[in-house]
Structures are given as C-alpha cells and as structure tokens.
Amino acid sequence: MNWLSDYVRPKIRSLVGTTREVPDNLWHKCPDCGHMIFHKELDKARRVCPQCGHHMRLPVKRRLAMLFDDSVHDRVPLPKVPADPLKFRDIKRYTDRLRDAQARTSESDAIIVAKGPIEARTTVVAAFDFEFMGGSMGMAVGEGVVVAAELAVAEKAPLVLIPASGGARMQEGILSLMQMARVTVAVDMVKDAGLPYIVVLTDPTTGGVTASLAMLGDIAIAEPGAIVGFAGARVIEQTIHEKLPKGFQRAEYLLEHGMVDMVVPRDQLKATLARVIRLLMQPHLPGDAPLPVPTEDVGSPSGGHRETEPTGPVDDSDTPHPDVETPEDDPAREGKAHGSRGTKAARSGETIVENSEAASTAADRPPPGA
C-alpha cells in the first residue's frame, strides 16, 4: 500500500479542489497596436481598443442592441428563398456551407431586419452579419433588403442600412448579381416616398454591396478605419502596377475625397443617427404659411445688425423698386442727377432774374393817363 498515492494525494486534491479550465478568449489583442485587452473591458468599450481607438468588428446582434432605445426592437421575419438553385459545389457543397453558417450564427442568412425606436422615432434597420459567409449578398439578403424597404414605406419610417460584406455570393452565380439591381430599386422606392435612407459603412464593405446599395445613401456615415471599396487594394495594385496611397479605401481617406459625409466613432453613432434622422424627417413649413417676423435685432450677413421689419402698413410710394437703379447704385447716374438738378436750379434762377427785370421795367413806366 502506497500511503502517498492512496492517502496524501486525495487529501491534497480535496483541499485544493478541482482545477478549472481557463477560456481561451479572456484576453484579446488589438490588431492595430497589439495592446492586450481583457474581454470584459473590450465589451464595455463596444469592441473599441481603449489604447489606440481601433474599431474591431462588432457582432450584428450587439450592434442592433446598441442602436435602439433600451435595446428594444422587433425582428422582422424574412421570407424563405431557394437554398441552392444552382446545385453549386466547390471543395464543399453550398448547402453544407449554409448549414454550417446557420449553426454557427443561429441566423438563417447574412442579414437581419429590425424595427424599433431610435431616440423615440420608429426606424427600420437592415444590418449585415459578416460572420455568416462573410456577409455575402445572395437571394436571401436581397429579399431582406426589399422587405426592409417595403416596411419603411409602410411605416413612413427612415431606413438605416449597416453593410458589412465581402460582396456578392459567388455560390449563387448570376442570381446573386441580380440582387444588385433589386436592392437598388428597393432603395429608390424609399426615396420616392420622401423618406431618408442612411448608410452606416462598417468594416468591411466591398464588392457588389459597395457597387449597389451601400453607396446610395442620402447620408453616408462610416466608422473609423472601415475598409470601403470595390476590389481589394492588393488586386488594384497588381492590376495597375502602382503603389496605392497610404490609408487607401479607409473611411478617413473616403471622407477626405468626398465619398462619405462623416466618420463617426461607435460611441457617438446612435446620437448622430438620431440627429440626422430628426433633421431629415422635420416637416417643412406649408407653402402658404407666413414666415415669422423677427421681433428684435437680427444679425446681418455682413456681421452688423439690421433693424427689424415694421409690422404695420408701410407707405412705399417713394420707395424705389429693387430692380430699378437709383443714383446711389450708379455714380454716373448720380452725377447726371446732380447735373440735372443744377440745370433746373439755373433755369429757376434765370426765371427769377427775368421776373425781377420785368418787375423793375414795369415800375419805371409811368402809370396810364399820366
């Protein structure tokens, strides 16, 4: 009998307890600066590196919860589409790829459509899921965009698109490319209804998604550092045999060259979206409504002040028409006006002299009958 193995070791195990397995994802390394971030700290920062501000990819469900008030929103059911009409197969069958992606993400395809309040205003959001086959756009994604557009028109609500995609899904061939035209028509339907269509470009937004609905927004917002383009930078360099500029296809580069309207950090995205939606949805004054009259001095464009307009009736009989030049507008005409006035004065003087001479002549004459 070995007392060490039979007595001492069990005693030590009972005192120490069983060892717990340490998860592999407790710490995350920032891909930009290499800083190690504890997973709870990273989640609290919405997957933004606290050291350098690098925006890591955010799961689509977390993004929706971040945008809507109190994370409250309703998922919109999407119609089913044929799973594999082309019976496509490469090293793996397309149906198997779909099944694996659905099991990994618990989603039916690469898009989620939701409706909910953003600062108390009902908004329809269509968000791509990059974890589902790279967010590629196939028939199901095209159908989801159409459903989102129809819902926005029916609810008279703005439509917000959040793409994160590698482009069209090659396993569906021409059926995938057809979705570019379909989603473009869906976006036009929203615009024809006079509703805002806002795009939030996230990393990455490329390929056929960029070439269609991602670049049609009334307002284009991008997250910092997001890659937005059609073909990849490496492919472009190999094609044109030139070195691309630093930061090419990044959100900041696009902002500098006028391709996006603003680059907004993730923690300010909801407030910015709400402000843009409020401005675009603000009703205009009716055409027959009188404009408000200022009641106090208002700054003029030149930096000075002008007096307020009178509210009572104004006698404008002596007021020149704005389209008619006045002497003050034309110095030459002003000189002519002075000359005209001088001529009139001279003529008046001559008349006075003539009248005085006539009066003196009449005075020198003897009265009649003298």
- What's the domain count of the chain? 2
Whether residue 129 is contained in a domain is answered as: yes
Q: Is the pLDDT of residue 20 over 70?
A: no
Which band of pLDDT confidence, cut at 50, 70 and 90, is reported for residue 10? Answer: confident
The domain containing residue 44 runs over which residues?
27-56
Say whether 20 counts as a known binding-site residue: no
pTM, full prediction: 0.72
The pLDDT of 128-155, averaged and rounded, is 98
Q: Are residues 168 and 216 in the same domain?
A: yes
* C-alpha to C-alpha distance for 32 and 227, rounded to whole angstroms: 14
Q: Are residues 99 and 122 in the same domain?
A: yes
Q: Are residues 48 and 114 in the same domain?
A: no
Strands 121-128 and 111-118: antiparallel
Q: Are residues 97 and 230 in the same domain?
A: yes
Q: Which pLDDT value is given to residue 273?
A: 97
Could you read off the pLDDT of 269-307 as tens digits, one per residue?
A: 999 999 999 999 985 545 444 544 444 444 433 333 344
Say whether 30 counts as a known binding-site residue: yes
Helix axes 174-192, 139-155, angle to 10 degrees: 10
Say whether 347 counts as a known binding-site residue: no
Q: Which pLDDT value is given to residue 356?
A: 47
Say whether 209 counts as a known binding-site residue: no
Q: Are residues 67 and 203 in the same domain?
A: yes
Here the CATH number for the domain that contains residue 155 is 3.90.226.10
Q: Is the pLDDT of residue 2 over 80?
A: no
Q: Are residues 39 and 66 in the same domain?
A: no
Q: Are residues 38 and 117 in the same domain?
A: no
Q: Are residues 101 and 209 in the same domain?
A: yes
The pLDDT of 119-129, averaged and rounded, is 97
- Residue 350 phi, psi (nearest 5): -60, -40
Q: Are residues 85 and 218 in the same domain?
A: yes
In angstroms, the Cα distances linking 178 to 84, 162, 170, 216 are: 16, 20, 12, 17
Q: Residues 202, 208, 213, 217: is their CA dihedral positive or negative? A: positive
